[in-house]
Amino acid sequence: MSEKFVMDDDYLPFHPNPKKPDFVPPMGAVDAHCHVFGPGDAFPYAPERKYTPCDASKDQLFALRDYLGFERNVIVQASCHGKNNDALVDALRTAGDLARGVAVVSPDVTDEELKEMDDAGVRAVRFNFVKRLVDATPKDVFLGIAERIQRLGWHIVVYFEAPDLEDLTPFLKTLPGIVVVDHMGRPDVTKGVDHEDFQRFIALMDESENIWTKVSCPERLTISGPPYDDVTAFGKTLVERFSDRVLWGTDWPHPNMKSHVPDEGVLVDVIPRIAVTTELQTKLLVDNPMKLYWS
Ligand code: 0GY
């Protein structure tokens, strides 16, 4: 019998009817950071998870993609599914060429399992350092996984919060291949772009041409709330300085939001404020993700 999952009391389900964005994404645009959750009765949540979300199915994700004017998704394995990537792989198989995936694997994953995920469209692994989401993994374990996935031509996605950047920098610099940092390294936006914390992140990207970032998640970083005026300068700075190494994503269905339920139409309307020319928008939404995930 399948297990029944009840979402956490303080869990905020995703927006039921987002607005139609004013910004029309360029043809072939990619939402390069989103998730699928369950459904729990088909793809049970992991016993070691730190939160129980509401279900957020592949069909709901693909409907949102079409509604917002996007063509493709990069689906990221979320911590509530632990290292069982079945829901992700199922979504990738349904989407065919319209989606690619980022998996979370343990060091004892077999070559056959990696090959199977590669066939389904997985192109990266995620290393999560956010303590509220996962128990810590030793860095040498991550390094071992990083070496193994090179053969497949996969890259690495890392998730950490700004206070951890200084400690993590030597490790990030030893990682082989392309490394994508989630959500701009999660800066404290009250400090401003000129603060040494964000400047440290910019310096890391300046020094390491293999480091990319997702200019995503204003909804997580904001203090002032929608339309996220206090976050715009961070994304804009990165898009203009590293135009060939930036990606954008909705982060649907927005796990663990506490302050508000984001409207994805409002999130899409942030794009022309951080990528202010057609050329920058095309790089951010089409050229860069296509190069990393589809070539
Ligand atoms: C995100 C952010 C979060 C959650 C996860 O894997 C996850 O559970 O990534 C978060 O809570 O900040 O990128 O979805």
Judge whether 251 counts as a catalytic residue. Answer: yes
Tens-place pLDDT, residues 47-94: 999 999 999 999 999 999 999 999 999 999 999 999 999 999 999 999
Q: Helix (H, G, I), strand (E, B), or coil: what is residue 206?
A: helix
Pocket test for ligand 1, best of 159, 257, 267 (most atoms within 8 A of CB): 159
Catalytic-role residue among 31, 55, 182, 251: 251
Ligand 1 is surrounded, with C-beta below 6 A, by 35, 78-80, 133, 159, 182, 251, 255-256
Atom of ligand 1 nearest to the CA of 51: 8
β-partners of residue 126 are 157
Whole-number percent of the chain with pLDDT over 90: 99
How many A from CA of 144 to the centre of ligand 1? 23
Antiparallel, parallel or unpaired: β 30-34 and 155-159: unpaired
Judge whether residue 1 has pLDDT over 90: no
How many A from CA of 79 to the centre of ligand 1? 7
**Binning pLDDT at 50, 70 and 90, where does residue 134 land?**
very high
**Closest by CA position to 21, among listed 66, 72, 76:** 66
Integer Rg of the chain from CA: 18
- Tell me how crowded residue 116 is: count the other CB atoms within 10 A of its CB: 13
The residue whose C-alpha atom lies closest to atom 4 belonging to ligand 1 is 255
pLDDT at 3: 77
Domains of the chain as residue ranges with CATH: 30-293 (3.20.20.140)
Tens-place pLDDT, residues 257-288: 999 999 999 999 999 999 999 999 999 999 99
Both tokens assigned to 122? 């997985």
Q: Read off the pTM.
A: 0.98
How many A from CA of 132 to the centre of ligand 1? 10
Whole-number percent of the chain with pLDDT over 70: 99
The DSSP secondary-structure symbol of 134 reads S
Query: How far apart (Å, rounded) are the C-alpha atoms in residues 83 and 263?
Result: 29
DSSP letter string, 244-276: TSEE----TT-TT--S----HHHHHTTHHHHS-
